[in-house]
Amino acid sequence: MTLYETVIGLEVHAQLNTKTKLFCSCPNTFGQEPNQNTCPRCLGLPGALPVLNEAAVQKAILTGLALNCDIQLRSVFSRKNYFYPDLPKGYQISQFDLPICLNGWIDIPLPEGGTKRIRITRIHLEEDAGKLVHQGAEAIAGSTHSFVDLNRTSVPLIEIVSEPDLSSPQEARAYFETLHLILKHIGVCDGNLEEGSVRADANTSLRPVGAAAFGTRTEIKNLNSFRSIERAIQSEINRQTEVLNAGGKIVQQTRNYHDLTQTTTVLRDKEESHDYRYFPEPDLKPLLVTEAWINEIKKQLPLLPEAQKDIYKRDYELNDSEAKVLIQDPDIHHFFQTALEKAGSVSPKLMAKWIVGDINAAIKIENETFQSSKLSIPNFLALMSLIEAEKISGKMAKEFIPEMVKTGKSPHDLLATIGGQQISNTDELDPFIQQVLSENPDVIEKIKAGKTQSANFLMGQVMKLSGGRAKPDLVLALILKAIQNI
C-alpha cells in the first residue's frame, strides 16, 4: 500500500476591527437587528459608490508587517463577480492580481517541540458579504425560504493565504492559533471565533511520500474553531486516503465540514466553480501607499507574542504559564502593560502573579473584562504596594480583590473597614497567641509529639481573633517558638 503525505494550505479570513466598514461609514459592529446597520453604499444601491476606509488599509499594512510581508506601494481593487443573494452588488470588491502584501512568513510551534517556518503568499483586503438566514431548515437545502441580512456587508476583511507548507492537521491548527494570536495581539482583529471574526478555508491534498508533484486538492470552507480545523482536515485526509487506496481519484471540489458527524460533504465540483471574471474596480483608483506611511505604521507594531513572552520570562522572571496568559489576551496584556508603566518600584513578577491569578478569576466571575471592570490601575498598584510592604497578607489581598473588582473601592478603604493593616508586631500578637495556646492544650501536646502541621490550626485561630489582620508566617513562627518554651 502506498504511503501518503499531506499537503495543506490555509486561507484565513479575518475581520478588521475598524470603527467603520470598508467602503462606507456604517459602524463596524456585530449583532444589530437585520439590515439596520446599512446605507446606500453597503446595500449596493444603484448610483452608490465605494469610498475606501484608510484605517482598514493601515491595519492591513500592520498585519503585513507583523507577518514579515513586502508591503506593496501600489495595489489594485478588483471586482469579483458572482451571483448570490447575500452579495448585493453582484460582485465583491476584493484584490486580485495586485494585493497589498506579498511574500511573508511566520514560525509556528511544532507539537514535538521546535518551530517550523510557514510561508505566506499574500494578504489582500476585501469586503465581507451579508448573511442568509434560512427558514425551515438549518441550511439552504430543505429550507422553505431565506431572509437576507446585509448588516455584515462591506465589513473589512483581510485574507491571508499561506503556501502549502503545512504537513498535518496539528500543524494547520498551530498555524491558525499562531496567526489568531498575532492578529489579536497587534490589535487588528477582535479574534472572536464564535462571531466569525476569523475563519479559514483549508486546501488539502495527498501525494505519495517523496513525490514532487502535488495531488488534487479539495477546499474545506468556513472553519471557525481551532478544533474544527484539526478535525476537518483529519477527516478529509481519511476520506482521501480511502479513495486513493481503493484505486479512486480525488476530484477537485469545495467541501463543507460538519462538526457533529466530523465529516465533510461536497458543496460544489470544479465544473460548477465560478468564473469570477475579475477586472479592476473602476470606482476606486489604484491604492497607493508611501514608504513614509509604512515606516510610521512600523513604529506602531508591538513586539510579537513570542518575542514579548521571552522578554517577560527573561527580564521579569515570569514563568511560562504566567507569560502565556498575559500575552494571549490583549485585554489582560493591556492592563499589565499600563500597570507596568506606572508601577514605580512594584515588582512586575508580583503584578503578573496577581493579574493572571486572583484578579483574572474575579473579573471572569463578574463577567467583566479588565477594560470594563471597576478595578483601576492606581487601586491595583496600591494593593501591590501594600502586599510588597507586608502591610497586608496575601490572604487579605485575596479577600479584597473581589470587592475591588465589583465596587472599585481602594485597598486603603477596605483596610479601614476591617480595622487596619496587617499586624506584624510581636507585642500586639502575643495576647492572641497566649489566649489560643491556653485554650488548646491538646493541640500543644500533638505538636510536641511531632505533629507540627497542627500548628496551622492554632495559626488559624489567631488569624480569626485578629480579624484576619495577623501576619500568618510570623504567627506560625511565634506559636512554634512559644510551644518550644513551654
Total binding residues toward another protein, as defined by CB under 8 A: 28
Q: Which residues pair with 94 in a beta bridge?
A: 78
Residue 49 binds another protein (CB under 8 A): yes
Q: How far is CA 96 from the centre of its chain?
A: 29
Binding to another protein by residue 44, rule CB under 8 A? yes
Side chain identity at 123, as an amino acid letter? I
Q: Which of 32, 81, 385, 440 binds another protein (CB under 8 A)?
A: 81
Segment contacting another protein by CB under 8 A, of 78-86, 375-383, 387-395, 427-435: 78-86
Residue whose cell numbers read 476530484: 251
Check binding of 88 to another protein (CB under 8 A). yes
Closest approach, Cβ 128 to another protein, in A, equals 17
Residue 21 binds another protein, judged by CB under 8 A: no
Contact between 288 and another protein by CB under 8 A: the answer reads: no
Among residues 163, 54, 42, the alpha carbon closest in space to that of 92 is found at 42
Please state, in angstroms and as integers, the Cα–Cα distance from residue 48 to each residue in 37, 303, 372, following that order: 16, 41, 38
CB of 327 to another protein, least distance (A): 39
Q: Mind spelling out the 3-state secondary structure of 2-19?
A: CCEEEEEEEEEEEECCCC
Site pattern 115..154 for another protein (x: CB under 8 A): -------------------------x-------x------
Residue 91 within binding range of another protein, rule CB under 8 A:
yes
Applying CB under 8 A, does 48 fall inside the site for another protein? yes
SS3 460: helix
Among 19, 27, 29, 40, binds another protein (CB under 8 A): 40
DSSP per-residue string spanning 115-153: EEEEEEEEEEEEE---EEEEESSSSSTT-SEEEEE-TTT
**Footprint (CB under 8 A) of another protein, residues 169-228:** none
- Report if residue 450 touches another protein, rule: CB under 8 A: no
Binding-site member from 73, 102, 110, 284 for another protein (CB under 8 A): 284
CA distance linking residue 74 with residue 100, whole number of Å: 7
The DSSP-derived string for 91-117 is EEEEE-SS-SEEEEEEEEE-TTSSEEE
| Position 285 contacts another protein (CB under 8 A) | yes
Residues that bind another protein (CB under 8 A): 40, 44-52, 79, 81, 83, 85, 88-91, 140, 148, 275, 277-279, 282-285
